[in-house]
Amino acid sequence: MLEQVLGFLQAMADQTGIAHFWWGNVVMIAIGCTMILLAIVKKYEPLLLIGIGFACVISNVPGSDLILPGGLFNYAYHGVELLVIPPLIFFGVGAMTDFGPMIAHPKLVVLGAMAHLGIFISLIGAKALGFSLNEAGAIGIIGGADGPMAVFVCVKLAPHLLPQVAVAAYSYMALMPLIQPPVMKLLTSKKERQIRMKQMRPVSRLEKIAFPIVIGIVVNLFFPPVAPLITMLMLGNLFKECLVTDRLYKTAANDLMNVIIIILTVAIGSTMNAEKFLTVKTIEIIVLGLIAFLGGTASGVIGAKVMNLFLKEGEKINPLLGSAGIASVPIAARVAHIVAVKEDRENLLIYHAMGPNLAGVFGTAISGGIMLALLGVK
């Protein structure tokens, strides 16, 4: 009788996830909980980290059907894998974005290019570690700090690396308030961080309407591999700036964007399964991604300092704006603003920082487009 009871209990235990629980699951659950904690306590991009962290926790509970084929999280991942979600993210971002700072101060656009050195640093590093050229390109694009673009390029070049690349890109984007400030402070003096920018000229409605149309044409002509993303970005922005499609622009900027963020974060977090994630290759990609972010931040700040050598007194640029040149909108701009305000409470850089930040989006798109074209990927 006792043997039958024990056998019954053993059979029940085998049907639960407990029998398949291992230390890797504990590590990944701890990582997921840390993300949630940082989002709630430190308020580090909670819109990203809470969804990613929770999905990471659930995907590491053995026996969960959510991540299996046919499961809800699995369907969310297919939306990312089939490149439906990234263009919709760009659509929502476009509807939320004012390109006025970029149009009004074109000089700051240069910083959007200078801050992309991280892409090439991580690309070279990945190739040196033995990754193929396509894999190195997919890893390198992490340095652009543009999550949807990283996903888009990775699916085209190395779809098998999508979980690692997506997690690295979005995790580092969310942790930028932690990653960037030490580099920014190391490379600038207190006096440089206190530089105040001149007020920008007003941008006309005609300029704001013409901008998305012109950019849409140019990108489709010269950079067709990344045209779906930038086209949707420009469409969302045109809805906003034309002032006659309020319902569409508000839906894109709010309701649709919120739904897409939920799907995206759940999809990314669900890929953080211990068996696939705790590998040497993943660690290499995570480290290369961090180096890319640090390199991009440093090159942007140094680029701004170099520009100041050729500018007259009174026209100099606050070097913190260089760090905003990576494409994480508006996170990078917000970090530059916060660091500046800590030095001078009246030095409000956020509007100025949006110029190089938005330029960084185009910089990443151009880098990704060139990479795809050179590797013969359409």
1 found inside a domain: no
Q: What is the pLDDT of residues 178-232, one digit of tens each?
A: 889 999 999 999 999 988 888 888 999 999 999 999 999 999 998 888 889 999 9
Enter the pTM of the model: 0.87
359 found inside a domain: yes
10 found inside a domain: no
2 found inside a domain: no
256 found inside a domain: yes
Cα gap 121→109, rounded to integer Å = 21
12 found inside a domain: no
Tell me which long-range contacts 62-65 makes (C-beta under 8 A, separation of at least 24).
Answer: 62/17, 62/18, 62/19, 62/20, 62/21, 62/25, 63/16, 63/17, 63/20, 64/17
- What share of the chain has pLDDT > 70, as a percent? 94
5 found inside a domain: no
Domain count, the chain: 1
Query: Predicted confidence band at 19 (pLDDT cuts at 50, 70, 90)?
Result: low
Domain residue limits at 80: 20-375
Q: What is the pLDDT of residues 154-167, one digit of tens each?
A: 988 998 888 889 88
189 found inside a domain: yes
Spatial CA neighbour of 19 closest among 52, 49, 63, 51? 63
Tokens of 188: 């600038």
